[in-house]
Amino acid sequence: MNTSNNALTEAVYYILLALVEPMHGYGIMQQTAILSKDRVRLSAGTLYGALASLLDKGWIEQLPEEGRKKDYRITPAGREVLEQELQRLAELLENGRNILNSQNE
Amino acid sequence: MEKKEIKKLWRFYSIADYEKEEAFLNEMARAGWNLTAVGFCRYIFRRGNEGEYIYKLDMVERTESDEVKESYFNFLTECGIRVVGEFKDWIYLQKRASDGPFDTKNDTYAKLRQVNKVYSFSLRTVCNLLRLFACVIIVLSIVQALMSNNVTVAEFCGGIILSVAVSSLIALAIIWVPIVNKLRRKVNKLIDDIGVNL
């Protein structure tokens, strides 16, 4: 559960989004680059650390190993965090649009 | 004329100047010299294609278990990254330039993560040094107390205690204090950039 009100970092946001489909580490990096049109590139160090702490929080889980590559997947708790983040982002977007658009009228 | 294939260079970079060290390695790679091994102030390069590889420094605590290290190294391999050198807690990462950069350019979080590792390492080193000096001084003081009937030994120990204390403090002040300060300023600057203090 995301008990704090903190915004997710872009890295964590994209990692969670990518892991809606089971994926291994390198796949997450590629997926993030594709989703963000190459704007966000996760470094291996960032991703490794983030995966460890997300596992720790229970937002993602590791799937039984097949071969050498480890696959990860988002958990219901992680999905909940993503939903909350989406709401937060929607609020930011809505307020921004409302105020800027009313000024432009 | 036969082209030289191996180049060995001496360079000194303090632990706080890892960015300059990275820049140096990347410049060599752009000129076609690829890092193959690292030692104390020592860099060995092999002639390759210009601009084929890019380099980055990362830190893995030596105290980490082999298992943790191996799992991280496997992960790096999966990501197309090779560890070409290890020195103390530093690891030297190599990647094909065509696979894209190591991370987003000017990613403040990634920079902060890196500098924080280095900063913690320096603080840990300073603490370990202080602990070591304290132990030496305590042991010598005990010896001195036990040998108080023997004036020569007692004076000898007293002299050593004083010189160890003074020289270690000077070493700390001259070498480590500037490094820790520099790293602290870097950490603070990045924290400002993220906007935590806004």
- 3-class DSSP state of A2: coil
Residue B86 pairs in a beta bridge with B91
Each domain of chain B, given as residue ranges in start order, spans 6-99, 108-197
For residue B74, give the nearest of A38, A40, A68 by CB distance. A68
| pLDDT value of position B1 | 45
On whether the CB atoms of residues B34 and B45 are closer than 8 A, the answer is yes
Parts of chain A with a pLDDT under 50: 1-3
| pLDDT value of position B179 | 93
The 3-state secondary structure of chain B reads CCCCCEEEEECCCCHHHHHHHHHHHHHHHHCCEEEEEEECCEEEEEECCCCCEEEEEEECCCCCCHHHHHHHHHHHHHCCEEEEEEECCEEEEEEEHHHCCCCCCCCHHHHHHHHHHHHHHHHHHHHHHHHHHHHHHHHHHHHHHHCCCCHHHHHHHHHHHHHHHHHHHHHHHHHHHHHHHHHHHHHHHHHHHHCCCC
> Locate tokens 């990613």: which residue?
B107
Locate A30 and state its tokens: 């590629």
Are the beta carbons of A26 and B103 separated by less than 8 Å? no
* Torsion sign, CA atoms A31, A34, A37, A41: positive
| pLDDT value of position B3 | 65
Residue of B nearest to A44 (CA): B76
**Cα–Cα distance measured from residue B145 to residue B143, given in angstroms and rounded to the nearest whole number:** 5
For residue A43, give the nearest of B78, B80, B110 by CB distance. B110
Give contacts of A42 with chain B, Cβ < 8 Å. 103
pTM of the model: 0.82
Locate B145 and state its tokens: 């107390």
**Cα–Cα distance measured from residue A46 to residue A15, given in angstroms and rounded to the nearest whole number:** 11
Parts of chain B with a pLDDT under 50: 1
Are the beta carbons of A26 and B101 separated by less than 8 Å? no
Residue of A nearest to B76 (CA): A44
| pLDDT value of position A99 | 93
**Cα–Cα distance measured from residue B144 to residue B157, given in angstroms and rounded to the nearest whole number:** 6
Locate B157 and state its tokens: 């120990």
Interface list for chain A against chain B, based on CB atoms closer than 8 Å: 9, 11, 24-26, 29, 33, 38-49, 68-69
**Cα–Cα distance measured from residue A105 to residue B161, given in angstroms and rounded to the nearest whole number:** 79
> Locate tokens 């830190």: which residue?
B59
Are the beta carbons of A45 and B113 separated by less than 8 Å? yes
**Cα–Cα distance measured from residue B150 to residue B154, given in angstroms and rounded to the nearest whole number:** 6
Are the beta carbons of B80 and A26 separated by less than 8 Å? yes
Minimal CA separation from A103 to chain B, in Å: 25
Give contacts of B79 with chain A, Cβ < 8 Å. 25-26, 29, 44, 47
Give contacts of A43 with chain B, Cβ < 8 Å. 56, 102-103, 107, 110
| pLDDT value of position A5 | 57
Minimal CA separation from B5 to chain A, in Å: 31
